Every structure is written in C-alpha cells, then in structure tokens.
Amino acid sequence: MTKKIAIFTSGGDCAGLNAVMRAVVVASHRLEWQVLGIENGTAGLLEEKPNYRLLTPDDFDATVMRLGGTILGTTNSRNPFEYKMPDGKVLDRSDELIAAFRDLGVDYIIGIGGDGSFGILNRLMKKGGLKFIGIPKTIDNDLNMTDYSVGFDTAVSIATEALDRLQPTAASHDRVMVLEVMGRDAGHIALTAGIAGGADVILIPEIPYTIENIASKIQEVKESGRNFALVMVSEAVKTPEGKKLEVVYQGGETRYGGIGDYLGMKLAQATGSETRVTVLGHVQRGASPTYNDRLLASALGVKAVDLVKEGKFARMVAWHNATVIDVPIEEAIKECRTVDIEGVLVHTARSLGISFG
C-alpha cells in the first residue's frame, strides 16, 4: 500500500542532514511511497502558504548528499507552543500545526532533530495523535539511547584538525593555545577531539578543575622540554567559581561562550606563557560529512523507513553496539547524555597523561 511521509530537519544544523534525507527518500521511493519535505523545520507549515515540496531521489543527486547544511533549511527558535510572531507576540500555534500536518494527508512524520526538538515534537505529535519517528542528529552527541548522533563525527574531525593546525603555530611561537569547542552541556566533542588531537589539557563540564592544576600541567610540559601546550575546552565549562559564561544575541537569546577567552587570560597570568585563544564555533557544523556520518545517516534513514513499514511510531531510531535499533522517543530525551567520567575515554586520556585540570 502506498504511503505518504513528511520529513523535516529541526534544531541546529550539522553535517549529514542531507545524507539522512537522501536515505529516507531513496528507500521510500523504492517502495513507491511519497516523501514531502517541509521547509525550515515545522515552521514551513505555519507560513501563509504552507511551504513544502515533493522530494524525489533526483533531489539528492550525486552532489547533495555530500553537502553540509540542509536543503530544507532548519530553525532552533520556532517552538509551535511558544511561537514568536513578527510583532513580538508569543502564540501557541500547536493546533494550527497539527491541522496543517493533517491537511497534508501524510501517514507518517519523520523529524531529524536533537533533544530540544524531540521534546517539543513528541508533545506535539502526542497531542495531535500523529505518527512520528525521530532520527537523531546533533554535534553534541548528547541524546540518550544512541551511541552516536549524525553530525558528531564530522564535528570531532573538524575539532581534531583544528588542534593539528594549532600545534605547529604553537610550537613556532612557544605558545599555549586554548581551543574552545561546542557541545552544550556535554563534553563529548572536547574529550574525543582532545584525545585524537593530542591536547595536554581537556576541560569538560562534567569534571571540575582549578587554574593551578592546569598551570602545573603546563609547567610539567615545559619541564619535559616541550615549548608549547594545547588546551581544549568545552563551551559549557564554568569558571572555577562556578560562573556560567554566555553571550547574548538579538532578542535576548543566550548561548554558551567566553570560557576560552577567560582561560586564556587566567593561564597567561598563572604561567607567564604567551597564550592565544581560538573559538571554533559554527565551523564545527558546516562541512561535508565524514564517511562515518554518511554511513550513520544512511543506516538510520533506512531504519526509519523500516519502522514505517512495520507500523511503529513514537520511536527514535538509534545506533547501538554496531547496529541500528529503535527506542521510545521519551527515553531518548529523558536526560542529557553527558560524558561518563568512569568511561573508557576519560580513562584513556588520564592514562596518556592528559590533565582534566
């Protein structure tokens, strides 16, 4: 029996979103099902004229699956329950959105998102009695119940490459280099790329630190005869006194930011070393996906279509123990999956002499 699926990307973008959509569209097309792509997250359906289009395998020709970003666009600030209108008013538009999905006549809705989006979407789909499947994507890799989310591997590769690029310039100038990476409340990017990129110090929100401990590690590095040090820090790391550092954007929206500069200043004072700070920011999100992210995107996209075939919904597809599984979406968003400080990566780092401050 033919089916109609709606798909959209939601929340912050990352590498691999087009590859996920390609997998869903190609696998659906082979079953002679239709896929409608909604523009700008679910917000496309709240425009005066609903903004969506039919997606076919031709839309994902030889080039598109290799591209970063999302051909459908996305947003992380269009919560239908608290929708900010152009005049500044905030409205609950959830009923309108549910009605718009019904008008599309779709059997299933597939959303590619992270914990923030899935929390909102799960509430929406339950309210509307709509059949929803989530595909996990986030560079932060903080969704529960999946070992990896699409986009993480690419972000880690970029952060690792940043350390590779900082190392020679650090060595040329006898400098301490601080690299601030994203990750929100989880230190996965900093920890993974820090090990892979040979950081001397890795600071993550899960492990408290002191400036003195970092300074003594830098001193130890100097005494070993090396003239530079690499310090990796995750954006959500607070000051040693517990102060959260943030930047405020237009409309009063806040994001983590500032810990790199803070540490740069403190470490220069504490060590007397020339110190420079690099904030990697959105560079971590905008790239052609790595082969790992393309494989993950393909496997998860196909699994989502399999779930439609099986008639399952309110599930998130996931990658666990080298295979695809599906889990209740509620479980996936129950809590933020932070770094396991007893886990293998922290143990590996410590055994390599990397300091957590």
Provide the annotated active-site residues: 140
Q: Is 154 in the site for ligand F6P (CB under 6 A)?
A: no
Neighbouring residues of 320: CB distance < 8 A, sequence distance ≥ 6: 145, 146, 147
Q: φ, ψ for residue 206 (rounded to 5)?
A: -75, -15
Site string for ligand F6P, 1-30 (x = CB under 6 A): -----------x------------------
116-119 CB contacts, 8 Å cutoff, 24+ apart = 116/11, 116/76, 117/10, 117/11, 117/41, 117/76, 118/143, 118/316, 118/329, 118/332, 118/333, 119/333
Rule CB under 6 A: is residue 139 a binding residue for ligand F6P? yes
187 binds ligand F6P (CB under 6 A): no
Residues 285, 121: Cα–Cα separation, whole Å = 23
Classify 318 as helix, strand or coil. strand
Rg (CA), the chain: 22
**What is residue 334's DSSP assignment?**
S
Q: Which residue is nearest to ligand F6P (CB)?
A: 182
Site for ligand F6P contains 217 (CB under 6 A): no
Shortest distance in whole angstroms from residue 335 CB to ligand F6P: 16
183 near ligand F6P, judged by CB under 6 A: yes
Q: Which residues in the 75-94 window bind ligand F6P by CB under 6 A?
A: 76
Residue 182 within binding range of ligand F6P, rule CB under 6 A = yes
- Per the CB < 8 A criterion, the answer to whether 45 and 22 are in contact is no
Size of the site for ligand F6P (CB under 6 A): 13
Q: Is 143 or 218 the residue whose CB approaches ligand F6P more closely? A: 143
Comparison of 50 and 73: residue with beta carbon closer to ligand F6P: 73
Residues 244-283 that bind ligand F6P (CB under 6 A): 255-256
Angle at 28 between CA 26 and CA 29, to 5 degrees: 65
Residues that bind ligand F6P (CB under 6 A): 12, 76, 114, 138-140, 182-184, 235, 255-256, 285
